[in-house]
Amino acid sequence: MPMALIGGVFALYLTGTPLSVSAAIGIIGLFGISVMEGIIVLTYFNQKLETGLERSQAILNACHTRLRPVMMTCSAACVGLLPAAFSNGIGSQVQKPLALVVVGGILLAPVLVLIILSLLNDLFSRRKSLLKNEGAVDTAEVI
């Protein structure tokens, strides 16, 4: 999700770190992590729609149920790169921009995945509950 890029660029801006090749590689890694989080939520949403849950309930259920996996993914990536983000030793000029982008983006990613992605899904998705659609077809065939 490109929205997580906002946190990464903001972290670079706050620390005064210029955009470099290392930071660009961090952006690519951040995209991978945030897309994985979006897939976690959207897959569960689609499963709930297939069971017959209505759209708004499926979104709320997916966000509530997948909050823990999204937070665990974010915290694992964040904790792993936190030492590199705060390092000042020899060679830190190479790894620090990458870590800053990923940590900054990951701190903002859960909010964006669970709130903004859900709103966009509600606005633009055309998927509907399968059981309700099948029930309407069966009723029309009986009449």
Closest to 9 (Cα-Cα) out of 1, 79, 17: 17
Tens digits of residue pLDDT in 9-39: 999 999 999 999 999 999 999 998 888 888 9
Query: How high does pLDDT run on average in the chain?
Result: 85
- The full set of domains in the chain, from first to last, is 2-142 (1.20.1640.10)
Could you read off the pLDDT of 31-78 as tens digits, one per residue? 988 888 889 999 999 898 889 888 889 889 999 999 999 999 889 988
What radius of gyration, in Å, describes the C-alpha atoms of the chain? 20
Over the range 83-122, which residues count as b (16 or more CB within 10 Å of their CB) and which as e? ebbeeeeeeeeebbbbbbbbbbbbbbbbebbbeebbeebe
97-to-44, 49, 93 alpha-carbon distances in Å: 34, 41, 7
End-to-end CA distance of the chain: 46
Instruction: Label residue 91 left, alpha or beta by phi (over 0 means left) and psi (-120 to 50 means alpha).
Output: left
> What does pTM read for this prediction?
0.78
Contact residues for 130 (Cβ-Cβ < 8 A; gap 6+): 49, 50, 52
E strands present in the chain? none
What gap in Å lies between CA 102 and CA 85, rounded to an integer?
9
pLDDT > 90 in the chain, percent: 36
